[in-house]
Structure 1
Amino acid sequence: MDLNVPEPEPGEDLVAPAEHELDVVDLVELYTPGPSTPEPDPEEDLVDSVELYVPCPSISEPHPEWVLAAPEESCAPGPSVPEPESKVTSELSTLENYIPQNVFQLEDCLKKCALLKERHVTNVWPRVFIGDEEIATDRDVLREMCITHILNAAAPKKALNYYLGTYYRGLHINYYGLPTTDRHSSDISKYFMPAAKLIDKALDKRVRCCKQGVEHSATLFLAYLMICHDMMVEEAIDHVIKSRRITPSRDFLKKLTLLNADLVNKRKLKLQDTKTADDSYNGRALIR
């Protein structure tokens, strides 16, 4: 076989036409370098191969220390990102910034309901009604309303109070009387907690705060909202006057403001204890 491959004429293609089939010998002959073609220097090939894999000097490799530090830095919040405020901290801040209204301001607030139409009975809370004496003594209406508990916020003397208790026999009604009008028990605040517990306990049925339903019973119900539902005195009044006209006396409003101050202080102390416990727990967790 002749190893001298003639040089191609200018414009002549080295590749055989597509329709021409080449055997294995022809392929070997085409790709076997002739003796006239100098082989590349091995050393030059090695240098060229190394140069091919050398990274471009314009592309800098990441520093090892930076790579190791990246995960730790990503877990820590940046100095410009504030940590989310907890619910306890938010409530505590609200209470610390809370400025209660005085008695005169509460009286102005009560004027909003002065134009409301007087009603014998009003649904002021789920399963809780405030009504007057006329409704409280109407057995047919009580039966129709499925009343199960009656709280007389201005109960008379014991003898008459007992008579009123027997009046509801056969209706499956539990009657409770609080002598808030007794001259020996004129401090209505002593009945705030008993009335609140009674209303809260009987909520699985229906409760009825009665008498005239604008002063004594309304005051006890306001205290119930403050004690059992963590309402401020302003919030409790705003809730009730949306549906019923009430007129607590100035003395009753004063008692409610004192109750409000006591409840706010207790809630502050409770939240502060909770916050301290949370901070201590988080501190131990960070040490671990």
Structure 2
Amino acid sequence: MENSRARPDTPSVKELVKILYGGKRCGSHVNEVWPNLFLSDLTFANDRYSVWKLGITHVLNAAHGRAHSEGGPDFYGPSVVYYGIPADDSPTFNLSKYFSASDKFIHNALEVEEGRVLVHCAVGVSRSATLVLSFLMQHHRLPLVDAILKVKEHRWIFPNTGFLKQLRALDIKLHTQT
């Protein structure tokens, strides 16, 4: 959705890709990217013991029903609230249709006393990162670039170009609402 009505500080997708490539490429299987908000890959998410040990109370799986994703409502037990999104990591997949529901899930989870949220997909850099960026933009009013830079302080992320277009459109929409 590259258009001439973009706010002056909303970079193009090409510029966003440059920002994403920049900086250090750090990250382990799981990283806390915002207070009590964690991004991870399937290796970590499929290890119930590690999830429990980290004190995770809520899991948002952006690869629900996909290959090797063991998560589900019964996988973590009754102490963990689960929400699954059957997203494909494809530039043509419309992940933005899940922004509102996932934002609410993360926000409500963080409002719970001692709430700790794990957002994951397969690698923890595209689908799950996009949902975390959307949350930071909508609930913390961070512009897209600021949200990217904040998450990149703790984890290397790389949403695909289709997701970047959707986040860019959200950034423009949020700017026009203020």
- Normalising by structure 2, we get a TM-score of 0.86
- The answer for the alignment partner of 1:152 in structure 2 is 61
- The answer for the alignment partner of 2:3 in structure 1 is none
Shift of 1:130: 0.4
Specify the structure having the higher radius of gyration (Cα): 1
Q: Distance in 2 between matches of 1:235 and 1:117?
A: 18
Shift of 1:163: 6.8
- Please identify which structure carries the higher strand content: 2
State the SS of the aligned residue for 1:208.
strand
User: Within the alignment, does 1:174 sit opposite 2:76 as a pair?
Assistant: no
Q: Distance in 1 between matches of 2:154 and 2:134?
A: 17
The superposition leaves residues 58-82 of structure 1 with CA deviations (integer Å, 9 ceiling, x where unpaired) of xxxxxxxxxxxxxxxxxxxxxxxxx
State the SS of the aligned residue for 1:165.
coil
Are the equivalent residues in 2 in contact too, given 1:112–1:241 (CA < 8 A)? Answer: no
Check 1:163–1:189 CA distance in 2 against 1; reply closer, same or farther (3 A cut).
closer
Q: Distance in 2 between matches of 1:236 and 1:196?
A: 14
1:197 aligns with one of 97, 100, 104: 104
The superposition leaves residues 142-197 of structure 1 with CA deviations (integer Å, 9 ceiling, x where unpaired) of 1211111000012116xx98973212125x111110111299x9200101111111
1:208 aligns with one of 115, 118, 121: 118
1:235 aligns with one of 125, 146, 150: 146
Are the equivalent residues in 2 in contact too, given 1:156–1:181 (CA < 8 A)? Answer: no
Alignment of 1:90-105 (within 5 A): 98-105=8-15
User: Within the alignment, does 1:253 sit opposite 2:160 as a pair?
Assistant: no
Q: Distance in 2 between matches of 1:164 and 1:241?
A: 28
Check 1:219–1:266 CA distance in 2 against 1; reply closer, same or farther (3 A cut).
same
Q: Distance in 2 between matches of 1:182 and 1:251?
A: 9
- Normalising by structure 1, we get a TM-score of 0.54
The superposition leaves residues 265-286 of structure 1 with CA deviations (integer Å, 9 ceiling, x where unpaired) of 011xxxxxxxxxxxxxxxxxxx
State the SS of the aligned residue for 1:129.
strand
Structure 1 unaligned regions, length at least 5: 1-96, 268-288
State the SS of the aligned residue for 1:123.
strand
State the SS of the aligned residue for 1:175.
strand
Give the alignment's Cα RMSD to 1 decimal.
Answer: 2.3
Alignment of 1:16-95 (within 5 A): none
Shift of 1:99: 3.0
2:133 aligns with one of 192, 201, 222: 222
User: How many pairs are equivalent?
Assistant: 167
Structure 2 unaligned regions, length at least 5: 1-6
Q: Distance in 2 between matches of 1:107 and 1:178?
A: 25
Amino acid of the residue matched to residue 222 of structure 1?
Answer: L
